Amino acid sequence: MNLFSRCLISSLLVISFNAFAEEKVVSALPVLHSLNQALLKGTDIDPVYLPPKRLPVSRISNWIKHKSRKAIAKQGPVTAFSTVESIWPDYALFPNLRIGNVRVIPVDGAKEITAGGALIRVSESDLKNHAYFWMVPDNLIVMSQIMARDYGRIWPSEADKIRKNQFELQQIIRKFALQMDQLLLEHEIDSACTDEEPLKALARATELPTEPAEDCSLEAISIVTMLPKEQDEKRFWVVNPLNKPLKANIDQWLDQNLKSLETGLVKN
């Protein structure tokens, strides 16, 4: 076999490998991974979560800065990554991803990377305290819309499926928001209380007056991630804030939080 033939075969093998290489979207926040799983369901695109699943959100930024390169290299070439680094720059994956892949495409779920693009609503206080903005149903919908549009542009052949998945997810989130409002109204809840900074975005999303936990009345709902030892007669909503990757899908997560609200509205 001459040199030309060997080069030709090698080139064909490279082309064949690239043609059948797995398309991947990587992420480093639990909410982004859950959205990727929901939006890319039934497609040939594989959502990959990079950090160790044991790490809570508060420890991921340090992992990205100091330990993410090995996990990125292990994945090989990836087509795109989802991020929220437009509002959480400490969680920026782009610099480390770009080292080995200058063509990787960023998809920012918090702010659409286009002129006049959509963006989530987050206060300066929420940014300062790293509030879990995805706990606000409207923000979760906007994130899904931004990501679905970008994925449809990156993979036009999968665009119809991605749009369908996004519509279904949007309906599930809206149903959750409606049922949350109905439960709070039916039980005549007059305010929402929390001392946990990450949960204050959710407290405001109830559209009820918000109070510190120490001022929480018996007619209020106290939003927590763990029940306190002394519960008195107050009503507690124990939420899963998606601080770590879900074992279930995103609609089961919303349903879990709704059932927890129903339980908490019954006084002890």
The DSSP secondary-structure symbol of 22 reads P
Rounded to whole angstroms, the Cα distance separating 221 from 201 reads: 14
* Reported confidence tier of residue 8, pLDDT bands at 50, 70, 90: very low
Residue 39 has pLDDT above 60, yes or no: yes
- Where exactly are the structural domains of the chain? 174-264
Averaged confidence pLDDT in the chain: 89
Task: Please report the pLDDT score of residue 213 as a whole number.
Answer: 84
- The answer to whether residues 34 and 245 touch, using CB atoms and an 8 Å cutoff, is yes
- The answer to whether residues 61 and 92 touch, using CB atoms and an 8 Å cutoff, is no
Task: Please report the pLDDT score of residue 155 as a whole number.
Answer: 97
Average pLDDT for 53-81: 94
* Reported confidence tier of residue 76, pLDDT bands at 50, 70, 90: confident
Task: Please report the pLDDT score of residue 231 as a whole number.
Answer: 67
Rounded to whole angstroms, the Cα distance separating 109 from 124 reads: 18
pLDDT > 70: percent of the chain: 90
Residue 184 has pLDDT above 80, yes or no: yes
**Cβ-based neighbours of 185, under 8 Å, separated by 6 or more:** none
Rounded to whole angstroms, the Cα distance separating 59 from 198 reads: 14
pLDDT digit string (tens) for 119-171? 999 999 999 989 999 999 999 999 999 999 999 999 999 999 999 999 999 99
pLDDT digit string (tens) for 15-33? 333 344 479 999 999 999 9
